[in-house]
Amino acid sequence: MLSVVNADGSTESGSLIDEIVREGARRMLAAALEAEVNQYIAELATETCERGHRLVVRNGHHRSRTVVTAAGPVEVTAPRVNDRRVDDETGERKRFSSKILAPWCRKSPKISEVLPLLYLHGLSPGDFVPALEQFLGGTAGLSPATVTRLTKQWSDDHAAFQTRDLSDRDFVYVWVDGVHPKVRLGQAHSCLPVLLGIRLDGTKELIALAEGWRESTDSWADLLRDCRRRGMRDSELVIGDGAMGLWRALAEAFPAARQQRCWVHKARNVNNCLPKSAQPGATKAMQEIYNAEDRGHAEKAIEMFVKTYGAKLPKAVAKIIDAQEELLAFYDFPAEQWIHLRTTNPIESTFSTVKLHTKVTRGAGSPAAALTMVFKLVESAQARWRAITGAHLVSLVRAGARFENGVLVEREERAA
């Protein structure tokens, strides 16, 4: 057992240290809950009834309950709020709900984030208790029945996500890509078509995540048509790889959206047509294209690429020439955002973590359950996504502002 030697020569066992850590976690959680309630009441201090009495006041504490945290199970007594305000629309009493620890919650949010990760990694519900008991010091709230209820809730969350109304959102930029995490998807060529968008305020949001077959036109068309039915508008720019199925489906569902090919995927495709000896030089030549200071220099870099490789390697050159307009579309948008707009990296970086934590698991598994687990992992990651660089320019792009080589030229008023 782990022991710590104090200055006076005495020792503290590992179990005592665990108790100290749990007590510290309990006090921190209690302080956070108290601060949250105090702030809530302070913000509504001016809400009074006709007699001048406050409508929102403290009302003692709830019953104590055990909550599983990363430090182990701790006893928590959450403060209670008496909110006598009435919702004008529903006529029901308003209620305070803690964002730190929801009512009757038995696990901290971080513990809940771990559960889908363990499920994706092949752990069955019955294995959660013995697997986590050694780390958390207890199993309160982690029974197989609890995990089963959680997976049902996650499935309901994903179903609601896939049917939510998109008419109240405006996605100015959209990244599209097909992700292939090999986890419980049942078919060797299963694929997850993903849409990720930038809203008017520059923040990122997962738009759609579904299961498809390879990256076929039908899979993309089904997903894009569904987004259109739910109110999604044409974006200003759609960024994706060279999958023909995607672009055919996009032209049908969102014909007004401009297209930008991902340079990372394009560079890989070009190098696949080249001998290894030519790949370093070709990679540097392509970097000269998409890192050029403006469209004119990029076009000159393409001419140089054609001159260098056109005679010997026409297939590689054709991959650049045939998609030249789509590869250089980002030059018509703010220069601050070029680094984001010329690749599908926002999707690649998000799902790299998912790919690292997923694998083909034993048993047949369930494609629906796997898709739900991936959704929960991405939903957790979404809270940490950063806004796009130059976020204040996104609304200008939607309003019709014209950019030449990344610089604002003028604004064109669009018809409503």
Query: Do 318 and 182 fall within a single domain?
Result: no
Which of 87, 105, 123 lies at the terminal end of a domain, its last residue? Answer: 105
Structural domain of 374: 107-261+349-385
Instruction: Identify whether residues 93 and 155 lie together within a single domain.
Output: no
Judge whether 80 and 56 are in contact, CB under 8 Å. no
Q: Is the domain of 405 the same as that of 269? A: yes
Query: Averaged over 238-260, what is the pLDDT?
Result: 89
Q: Are 315 and 391 part of one and the same domain?
A: yes
Q: pLDDT at position 29, please?
A: 73
Domain shared by 97 and 243, yes or no: no
Residue 361, pLDDT score = 46
Question: Do 114 and 235 fall within a single domain?
Answer: yes
* 204/197 Cα distance (integer angstroms): 6
* CB-based contacts of 295-304 (< 8 A; 24+ apart in sequence): 295/328, 295/331, 295/405, 296/405, 298/328, 298/331, 299/324, 299/328
What is the band of 303 on the pLDDT scale with cuts at 50, 70, 90?
A: very high
- Residue 353's domain is classified under what CATH number? 3.30.420
Residue finishing a domain among 72, 87, 105 = 105
- Going by pLDDT thresholds of 50, 70 and 90, the confidence category of residue 205 is very high
What is the sign, positive or negative, of the torsion defined by CA atoms of 166, 167, 169, 173?
A: positive
217-244, pLDDT tens digit by residue? 888 889 999 999 999 999 999 999 877 7
What percentage of the chain carries pLDDT values higher than 70? 71
Helix, strand, coil percentages (3-state) for the chain, rounded to 5, are 45, 20, 35
- What sign has the CA pseudo-torsion 105, 110, 116, 119? negative
pLDDT digits (tens, 9 = 90+) for 363-392: 445 566 667 777 877 887 787 788 999 999
The residue out of 105, 137, 170 marking a domain boundary is: 105
Q: Cα 209 to chain center, whole Å?
A: 10
**Total domain count for the chain?**
3
Residue 321 pLDDT class (50, 70, 90 cuts): very high
Question: How many Å apart are CA 310 and CA 304, to the nearest integer?
Answer: 9
Model-level pTM? Answer: 0.67
Indicate whether 19 and 38 sit together in one domain. Answer: yes
Torsion, Cα of 293, 297, 302, 307 (10° steps): -140
Alpha carbon 11 to its chain centroid, in Å, reads 46
Q: Does residue 121 share a domain with residue 86?
A: no
At 2 the pLDDT is 42
* Whether 121 and 164 share a structural domain: yes
Q: Kind of pairing, strands 204-209 and 190-198?
A: antiparallel
pLDDT band at 102 (very low <50, low <70, confident <90, very high): low
